[in-house]
Amino acid sequence: MAPKDPEATPVEALSRDEAATELQRLAQAIAWADAAYHRDDAPEISDADYDALKRRNARIEARFPDLKRPDSPSERVGAPPTEGFAKVVHSVRMLSLANAFDDEEITEFDARIRRYLGLAADAPLAYTAEPKIDGLSLSLRYEAGGLVQAATRGDGTEGEDVTRNVRTIGEIPERLEGGPDLLEVRGEVYMAHADFEALNARQEAAGQKRFANPRNAAAGSLRQLDPSVTAGRPLRFFAYGWGALSAPLAETQMGAIERLSALGFPTNPLTALCDGPGEMLARYREVERRRAALGYDIDGVVYKVNDLALQERLGFRSTTPRWAIAHKFPAELAWTQLEAIDIQVGRTGALSPVARLVPVTVGGVVVSNATLHNEDYIAGRDSQGNPIRDGKDIRVGDWVQVYRAGDVIPKLADVDLSRRPEGATAYVFPTSCPECGSDAIREEGDSVRRCTGGLICPAQAIEKLKHFVSRAAFDIEGLGAKQVEQFYLLGWIREPADIFTLAARDAAGEKALVAPQEVLAGLHDEERGEARERLADALGLEGFDREEVARTFERRSRTPLSEQLGWGEKSVRNLFDAIEERREIPIERMIFALGIRHVGETAAQLLARHYGRWEAFLAAMDAATDQAGPAWDDLLSIDGVGAVLARSLVTSVTQDAERASIDRLAGELTVLEAEQPDTEGSPVAGKTVVFTGKLEKMTRAEAKARAESLGARVSGSVSAKTDLLVAGPGAGSKAKKATELGVEIIDEDDWLKLIGAA
DNA sequence: GAGCCTCGAGTTCC
DNA sequence: CTCGAGGCTC
């Protein structure tokens, strides 16, 4: 059990008996945290919390030396679970693959590539096909033939340095002969079935936890802090790709794989060349047929365009290469019973139903929750009103079939009406918010029902704050989702601006922004049991008693954070330092952090680039309030901004309460001007370019992607703001308009010459 | 107006 | 990771 947080009595005030009791409690709590960290590779409490426990233990021991226990945590040897793995930024992003689940999607994949490349349906186009190993991706960096770094995939941009562990894997060469000077090899670490069974037998004999499946075993083994543990684990490796290179490996994917094999890397023996969708699908069946006998887990077949020059032309979408796709095997299914349907309220007020299930193992993992999407889904209809699951609705008590979409997200596939319990009634979707009681309404044509409470809804307020501190927004170290939620419940932070005044209020001994009566007022009716529980929990109380809650609420408001359990002086200082660091914030993060519907990372980036300065952005929003006029048109002229986004943005930013909150926040900050894309030496940076007519050396999509990578804005129509028109043969009205407006016109060859210089 | 292609939002489990 | 929907292209 996790240690609760009984309001910490100052060490000085502890009686002897209390001290002895607490030392025992601390010893247990620390041992529990250690075990959770080492055994499960999943710390249950934060490093800061852990440090605070240890420090309090040490202080009590210092005051009562004779009470020191034989199992005192301060005597424990071994590395404290502070340092994890160093972060590694990948020089070339490790992307994921687009997925396909049926044959048709593979035909479409081929057609899409041909279209993009401008190839006829019958032109030759070869693909490689290889089994998709179910393990963990790894990037191995070799310099001058020697392995210098191994990193996990992480989020694709930044992974963890696992070099010391990887050096213990026999199948990964330490040195290469005759490779390029710089070579990053990418592949999959996995554990074979036989090795997995043997490992689990050993784990069990040693009284340790069995691993749920080979992939978890491989992941757990690779992420050992002690490389000697990894050395004892039977990890294996298949190379399938590469990142940074000082010289090309080959001209084709197949050639590159053969080269990696010649350099000493294991490559998958089932890798084959296919000349089109027909052969690809035949290969898929073949691999599927041999799946059970392979001796290791695979979850599909990956196809890649064989010609590397074509791969380069195809390039990437935002998170996946265009030249590859993973054809997944059908997901495993399992039947279980639906215990309850809960409603969660998101940042935008969306009411999302979640299925609480009798736990069931699906694909090696125990699943107890699954998404139910929205009210139509429960009723057995899709957003167009067409029946899904043959129109069967879902009721509490039903037997339902579960699968893990993409091997991750649990979903329901079917309902067994023959086993429906007698008296089961159709689920009635709430029409008021379960968190704040406000009306929950569904807009015309929308599939989700939303709480109309806005910021008075605690769920929305908390989710908005979580979004605010999230990685792509303010990313404040030491202030994660958990802390934000707790600070909100304790009344210390109600809106983003409050984060930046917290340190001062802490020093002044008055953190709460609301009176306890006010907090309690919202908890009157009996239905709000959950909210009461959460508040009691945040206060560290076992039960809910109004007077005790109010008392504790005030005491915690007055007690400096550094004296509260779970926090120590150092962690508090780190938190406040991290907050101070974010008083300077890039404008794109600021815009994203506001959490406006339809404005995600990408849209925020576009807006930041367009307006440059924060004041200019706000002024433009004000000028566009009436949704007409030059400011409104200017907003809509941004490529990627349409009417829906614009309306959502302008109404949010100019709405009084919201705006006041934004201004309070901005008052605490220095918002940094947008950085233009890194296009040093690009002749077209910041220019607005329009393509028209037929392009002969590249497709329109390629031309657009290339121009944007050089910092140009590509627009669809010629206007006074257009700097350059690239006109191929057959250009018509656009060329005419450009001439009228005096916009420079060049042909495709001139364009290539122009950007070739970059 | 139809058909992509992306992005945004919501979600689970480790 | 997926679904829904916004926005762009044809």
The 3-state secondary structure of A66-99, one letter per residue: HHCCCCCHHHCCCCCCCCCCCEEECCCCCCCCEE
Mean pLDDT value of segment A460-473: 90
Mean pLDDT value of segment A383-404: 83
Query: How many Å apart are A480 CA and C3 C1'?
Result: 27
Give the separation between CA A642 and CA A662, rounded to whole angstroms: 23
Is strand B in 7 Å reach of the CB of A602? yes
Give the separation between CA A24 and CA A688, rounded to whole angstroms: 69
Residues 6+ apart with CB under 8 A from A187: A137, A138, A140, A237, A238, A239, A240, A241, A265
> What share of chain A has pLDDT > 70, as a percent?
82
Query: How many Å apart are A645 CA and C5 C1'?
Result: 11
A541 to A150, A533, A738: CA distances (angstroms)? 46, 9, 71
Residue nearest to nucleotide C2 (CA to C1'): A405
Average pLDDT, chain A: 83
- Quote the distance between the C-alpha of residue A110 and its chain's center: 29
Q: Which long-range contacts (CB under 8 A, 24 or more apart) does A614-622 make?
A: A614/A587, A614/A590, A614/A666, A614/A671, A614/A673, A617/A587, A617/A591, A618/A653, A621/A649, A621/A650, A621/A653, A621/A654, A622/A654
- A466 tagged catalytic: no
Is strand C in 7 Å reach of the CB of A749? no
In tens, the pLDDT along A84-142 reads: 677 788 888 787 888 887 887 888 888 888 877 878 888 889 999 999 998 888 999 99
Is strand C in 7 Å reach of the CB of A639? yes
Is strand C in 7 Å reach of the CB of A644? yes
Residues 6+ apart with CB under 8 A from A179: A142, A145, A263
Query: How many Å apart are A456 CA and B3 C1'?
Result: 41
Of A700 and A267, more confident:
A267
Residue A5 has pLDDT above 70, yes or no: no
Mean pLDDT value of segment A687-704: 66
Catalytic choice (A4, A68, A87, A132): A132
Residues 6+ apart with CB under 8 A from A348: A450, A460, A597
Confidence of residue A82 (pLDDT cuts 50, 70, 90): very low
Give the separation between CA A465 and CA A451, rounded to whole angstroms: 17
Is strand B in 7 Å reach of the CB of A114? no
pLDDT at A575: 93
Of A336 and A66, more confident:
A336
Is strand B in 7 Å reach of the CB of A608? no
Angle A582-A586-A588 (CA atoms, 0-180°, nearest 5)? Answer: 125
Q: Which long-range contacts (CB under 8 A, 24 or more apart) does A391-397 make?
A: A392/A417, A393/A426, A393/A427, A394/A338, A394/A341, A394/A355, A394/A427, A395/A338, A395/A420, A395/A424, A395/A425, A395/A426, A395/A427, A396/A338, A396/A339, A396/A340, A396/A341, A396/A424, A396/A427, A397/A337, A397/A338, A397/A421, A397/A424
Q: Is A244 helix (H, G, I), strand (E, B) or coil?
A: strand
In tens, the pLDDT along A201-256 reads: 988 888 888 887 888 889 888 888 888 888 889 999 999 999 999 999 999 999 99
Q: Which amino acid is at A446?
A: D
In tens, the pLDDT along A646-655 reads: 999 999 999 8
Is strand C in 7 Å reach of the CB of A382? yes
Give the separation between CA A146 and CA A467, rounded to whole angstroms: 43
A529 to A154, A204, A535: CA distances (angstroms)? 39, 42, 10
Give the separation between CA A478 and CA A496, rounded to whole angstroms: 15
pLDDT at A51: 56
pLDDT at A27: 67
Residue A83 has pLDDT above 50, yes or no: no
Bases along strand C below 7 A from a protein CB: 1-10
Mean pLDDT value of segment A501-518: 94
Q: Is A25 helix (H, G, I), strand (E, B) or coil?
A: helix
Q: Is A405 helix (H, G, I), strand (E, B) or coil?
A: strand
Mean pLDDT value of segment A690-706: 65
Residue A678 has pLDDT above 60, yes or no: no
Q: Which amino acid is at A115?
A: R
pLDDT at A302: 92
Token pair of A317, please?
């979408």
Residue A77 has pLDDT above 50, yes or no: no
Which of the nucleotides lies closest to A642 (Cα–C1')? C7
Query: How many Å apart are A488 CA and B8 C1'?
Result: 25
pLDDT at A709: 66
Query: How many Å apart are A324 CA and B12 C1'?
Result: 26
In tens, the pLDDT along A518-540 reads: 888 777 655 566 778 888 888 88
Q: First and final CA of chain A: distance in angstroms?
A: 61
Instruction: Please classify residue A517 by burial: count the beta carbons closer than 10 Å to its beta carbon, then call 0-12 exposed, 13-18 middle and 19+ buried.
Output: exposed
Bases along strand B below 7 A from a protein CB: 4-14
pLDDT at A4: 37
pLDDT at A572: 92
Is strand C in 7 Å reach of the CB of A646? yes
Mean pLDDT value of segment A324-328: 87
Is strand B in 7 Å reach of the CB of A115? yes
Q: Is residue A42 within 8 Å of residue A219, measured between CB atoms?
A: no
Q: Please compute, for residue A374, the number of CA atoms within 13 A of its CA located in the half-sphere on the CB side.
A: 18
Structure pTM?
0.70
pLDDT at A409: 79
Q: Is residue A641 within 8 Å of residue A607, measured between CB atoms?
A: yes
Q: Is residue A421 within 8 Å of residue A343, measured between CB atoms?
A: no
pLDDT at A398: 92
Query: How many Å apart are A282 CA and B4 C1'?
Result: 28
In tens, the pLDDT along A714-753 reads: 666 666 667 777 776 656 666 666 776 667 777 777 777 7
Give the separation between CA A640 and CA A415, rounded to whole angstroms: 40
In tens, the pLDDT along A575-588 reads: 999 999 999 999 99
Give the separation between CA A85 and CA A412, rounded to whole angstroms: 37
A453 to A45, A279, A341, A460, A520: CA distances (angstroms)? 33, 56, 22, 8, 18
Using DSSP bridges, classify how beta strands A713-715 and A688-692 pair: parallel, antiparallel or unpaired. Answer: parallel
Query: How many Å apart are A447 CA and B10 C1'?
Result: 13
Residue nearest to nucleotide B4 (CA to C1'): A112
Which of the nucleotides lies closest to A326 (Cα–C1')? C1
In tens, the pLDDT along A424-433 reads: 999 999 998 8
Is strand B in 7 Å reach of the CB of A371? yes
Residues 576-635 of A with CB under 7 A from strand C: 598
Angle A706-A245-A267 (CA atoms, 0-180°, nearest 5)? Answer: 110
**CA-based R_g, chain A, Å:** 30
Of A115 and A516, more confident:
A516
Query: How many Å apart are A602 CA and B6 C1'?
Result: 10
Which of the nucleotides lies closest to A369 (Cα–C1')? B12
* Residue recorded with tokens 């001139």: A750
pLDDT at A173: 96
Is strand B in 7 Å reach of the CB of A42? yes
Is strand C in 7 Å reach of the CB of A155? no
Residue nearest to nucleotide B13 (CA to C1'): A408
Give the separation between CA A82 and CA A52, rounded to whole angstroms: 12
* Residue recorded with tokens 């190379």: A239
Query: How many Å apart are A643 CA and C6 C1'?
Result: 9
- Of A397, A400, A399, nearest in space to A423 by CA: A397
In tens, the pLDDT along A260-314 reads: 999 999 999 999 999 988 999 999 999 999 998 999 999 889 999 999 998 888 8
Q: Is residue A400 within 8 Å of residue A358, measured between CB atoms?
A: no
Instruction: Evaluate the CA torsion angle A41, A42, A45, A47 in order and state its sign.
Output: positive
Query: How many Å apart are A640 CA and B4 C1'?
Result: 15
Q: What torsion do the CA atoms of A251, A253, A259, A263 make, to the nearest 10 degrees? A: 130
* Residue recorded with tokens 């074509």: A310
- Of A61, A262, A227, nearest in space to A150 by CA: A227
For residue A686, give the H/E element and its range.
none
pLDDT at A26: 72
Main-chain dihedrals φ then ψ at residue A69, nearest 5 degrees: -85, 155
In tens, the pLDDT along A11-62 reads: 777 777 777 777 777 766 666 555 444 434 444 555 556 556 666 776 676 6
Q: Is A243 helix (H, G, I), strand (E, B) or coil?
A: strand
Using DSSP bridges, classify how beta strands A182-190 and A158-160 pair: parallel, antiparallel or unpaired. Answer: unpaired
Is strand C in 7 Å reach of the CB of A408? yes
Residues 426-455 of A with CB under 7 A from strand C: 445-447
Strand order in the sheet with A351-362: A365-371, A351-362, A333-345, A399-405, A409-416
* Residue recorded with tokens 């992420």: A223
pLDDT at A705: 62
Mean pLDDT value of segment A337-356: 90
Angle A570-A572-A576 (CA atoms, 0-180°, nearest 5)? Answer: 120
Q: Is A694 helix (H, G, I), strand (E, B) or coil?
A: coil
